[in-house]
Amino acid sequence: MSFIEVEHVSKEYISEGKSFPALKDISISIEKGEIFGVIGLSGAGKSTFVRCLNYLEKPTSGVVRIDGTDLSELKEAQLREKRQKIGMIFQHFNLLMQRNVLDNVAFSLEVSGMKKKEARKKALELLKKVGLEDKKKAYPAQLSGGQKQRVAIARALATEPEIILCDEATSALDPETTRRILEILKDINKEYGITIVVITHAMSVVEEICDRVAVLDSGELKEMGYVSRVFKNPHSKAAKRLIYDSERSVG
């Protein structure tokens, strides 16, 4: 049994009376401690897929199992508890602008009932982890994009997740900063054994940190396999286009 099991998941959005299939019968298993990449053109369904993994989006049909638990069977409160075990970071860092860095990290701990002092202590540890303890008093507006994303990572780590979902977490960052963020992700993957799912448009990111990769196209799973194999020898048209085009454009 895998850590994350997605079985025959479909998702249809209804907009203006018409239904639109964003995911079609997707089955993917992700192992514990793995770093798993998801690539595909814009609109392929990548974000929809990872949002199904923590039920921010409920699949129209199919099953999502995390560590053996079928998410559809969870009650509201249980689902929230489960979500704390599934951190998520976004392209938009979504920090609270009115709180300083330390409080941004401590905030989710406080609202889930931890004492303020304790929450801050833990937050400070996490800031050290991402190399930002000297910025703890700064406000998000005073940070660079990479620093903001590091705060977001520290915040995601605060609830001691077993999984971290990254939806284009490095898309707004320059290559050097991206590398730094990827280092941190690799670090926490090794140190805590956290399973990481990475959505990205940058093939170099996949090559750099992912073990396996899935290729989505128009809501369908076109190809899945080890990065080394997929990148050297892509079978599907979708994968070929993504991989060869990116090489050409990078030069």
Partner 1 sequence: MQDPGISVLFKGSNFIRLLEGLSIALRISFLSVVISLLLGFFIGVLISGKNRFLKIVYGIYLNTVRIMPQMVLLFIVFFGSTRVLGINIDAEVSSIIVFAFWGSAEMADLVRGAIKSIPVHQFESAASLGMKKRTIYLKIILPQTLRRLVPSSINLVTRMIKTTSLVMMIGVVEVLKVGQQIIEANRTTSPNIAFWMYGTVFLLYFIACFPISRLSKSLEEKWKLA
Least spacing, CB of residue 40 vs ligand ATP, in Å: 5
Count of residues that interact with ligand ATP, criterion CB under 6 A: 12
Decide: 13 and 51 in contact? Cβ < 8 Å: no
With CB under 6 A as the contact rule, the residue among 37, 45, 59, 140 that binds ligand ATP is: 45
Print the binding letters for residues 36-55 with partner 1: x by CB under 8 A, - otherwise. Answer: ---------------x--x-
CA–CA distance, 95 with 180 (Å, rounded to integer): 19
Torsion of CA 54, 57, 58, 64, to 10 degrees: -30
Q: Does 178 bind Mg ion (CB under 5 A)?
A: no
The nearer residue to ligand ATP, 37 or 45, going by C-beta atoms, is 45
Q: Tell me if 75 sits within 8 A of 83, measured CB to CB.
A: no
Among 19, 27, 72, 142, binds partner 1 (CB under 8 A): 142
Q: Are 163 and 196 in contact (CB under 8 A)?
A: yes
Segment contacting Mg ion (CB under 5 A): 25-33, 46-54, 63-71, 204-212?
46-54
Residues 6+ apart with CB under 8 A from 123: 102, 103, 105, 106, 109, 136, 154, 158
Q: Which residue is nearest to Mg ion (CB)?
A: 47
Beta-carbon contacts of 88 under 8 Å, excluding residues fewer than 6 positions away, are 50, 54, 56, 156, 164, 165, 166, 167
98 touches partner 1 by CB under 8 A:
yes
Residues that bind partner 1 (CB under 8 A): 51, 54, 56, 80-84, 86-88, 90, 92, 94, 96-100, 107-108, 111-112, 139, 141-142, 155-156, 159, 165
